Amino acid sequence: MAKSIDVSDLNIYYGDFLAVEGVNITIPQKSVTAFIGPSGCGKSTFLRSLNRMHEVIKGAHVDGKVLVDGNDLYGADMDPVNVRRMIGMVFQRPNPFPTMSIYDNVLAGQKLNSKKMKKSEADTTVERALRQAGLWAEVKDRLDRPGSGLSGGQQQRLCIARAVAVQPEILLMDEPCSALDPISTSVIEDLIHELKTEYTIVIVTHNMQQAARVSDDTAFFNLAGVGQPGKLVESGRTEKIFSNPDNPATEAYIQGRFG
């Protein structure tokens, strides 16, 4: 089910502004890859380009290739909507739909696309997704309550359940814990460990301990200066990046000398 991603020579633009330049990276399947780097280095932009979410911003476009199982996401006949169905995303701030119950939130991907489902099938999907997100025990008695009534950490897990309910191949996470308290953060980190048995996970994080704890591979992004495009400096196994990076900038960042 999970798939790997091959990115070659990817440039990302906002209008005429080149935001990220020349990224080449392979993201292995069924593992966790973390993107780290200082603010504004383009790691979130790059993440959003992996499921064509950055196109939501007017004027944003890319050149280069993003191959998932040999298919170019930016191919002429690719529908971005289908790309996003295949590659799910979890955002920085939990964003459950305020007008929907917990149950409907989990099924949002199906319901919003008016997909017909049998009741039993829907129930199974909800339970499976909530179990995968580690939320089932906490909410199984109040599935008809509004999703916005949950705590921040629960809301974020609800969003993860919502993302996995459409059975994507890849899960992108954009700083999923930055708005959460330490306990919720550790719950989500454990969850990421479990999810990687089924999904390819890419996570952007500001928190280097978190990258070290959850990821198998790490990619370090940096930018040369203000107004310059962000670049992928170095990527590799997490242990190597954190203990013995090739690039001095990576080492400086990891040791906390800047950023």
Partner 1 sequence: MTTTLQKTPEPFDLKSELQEHQLPLWVPKAIVAGAAVVGVLLAVSGAVSIAQAVLIGWALTWALPIASRVVEGGRKASDRTVTLLVSSAFGLALIPLGSILWLVISRGGPQLSAEFFTYSMRNVVGEGGGIYHALVGTLLITAAATIISVPIGLFTAIYLVEYGDGNRLSRSITFLVDVMTGIPSIVAGLFAYALFVIFFGEGIRLGIGGAVALAVLMVPIVVRACEEMLKLVPNELREAAFALGVPKWRTVVKVVLPTAISGIVTGVTLAIARVIGETAPLLIIAGLTDSVNFNLFSERMTTLPVFTYFSVKFPGVPPEASIDRGWGAALVLIIIVMLLNLVARAVSYFFSPKGER
Partner 2 sequence: MSSTTEREKEAPRPVRRPGDRIFEALSTSAGILILLTLLGVAVFLTLEGLPGITASADEIGGKTGGKGFFAYVWPLVFGTVWAAFIALIIAVPVAIGVALYISHYAPRRLSSTLGYVIDLLAAVPSVVYGLWGLLFLSRELAPFYQWLADTFGFIPFFAGNPSGGVSANSILTASLVLAVMVLPIITAICREIFLQTPRLHEEAALALGATRWEMVRLAVFPYARSGIVSASMLGLGRALGETMAVAMVLSASGVVTFNLIGSTNPSTIAANIALQFPEAFGTFTNVLIATGLVLFVITFAANFAARAIVERRKDFSGAN
Residues that bind partner 1 in the complex, under the rule CB under 8 A: 51, 53, 56, 58, 81-86, 88-89, 91, 93, 95-99, 108-109, 111-114, 146, 148-149, 159, 162-163, 166
Nearest to 51 by CA among 33, 68, 28: 68
Our finding on whether 144 is near partner 2 (CB under 8 A) is no
Q: Is the CB of 21 or the CB of 169 nearer to partner 1?
A: 169
In degrees and rounded to multiples of 5, residue 52 shows phi and psi of 60, 25
Q: Does 137 bind partner 2 (CB under 8 A)?
A: no
Q: Is residue 232 classed as helix, strand or coil in its secondary structure?
A: strand
Containing 217, the helix (H) or strand (E) segment is strand 217-223
3-class SS at 101?
strand
Please tell me the chain's helix, strand, coil percentages from 3-state DSSP, rounded to the nearest 5.
35, 25, 35
Minimum CB distance to partner 1 smaller for 99 or for 228: 99
Q: Taking CB within 5 to 8 Å according to partner kind, which of partner 2, partner 1, none is near residue 166? A: partner 1
Q: Scanning residues 38 to 77, which ones bind partner 2 (CB under 8 A)? A: 55, 61-63, 74, 76-77
Residue among 84 and 231 whose Cβ is closer to partner 1:
84
Number of residues in the chain: 259
Q: Which is nearer to partner 2, 78 or 252 (CB)?
A: 78
Sequence-distant (6+) residues with CB within 8 A of 10 are: 20, 22, 23, 24, 46, 49, 62, 63, 64, 65, 66
Q: Which does 23 bind (CB under 5 to 8 A by kind): partner 2, partner 1, none?
A: none
Q: CB of 7: closest distance to partner 2 in angstroms?
A: 17
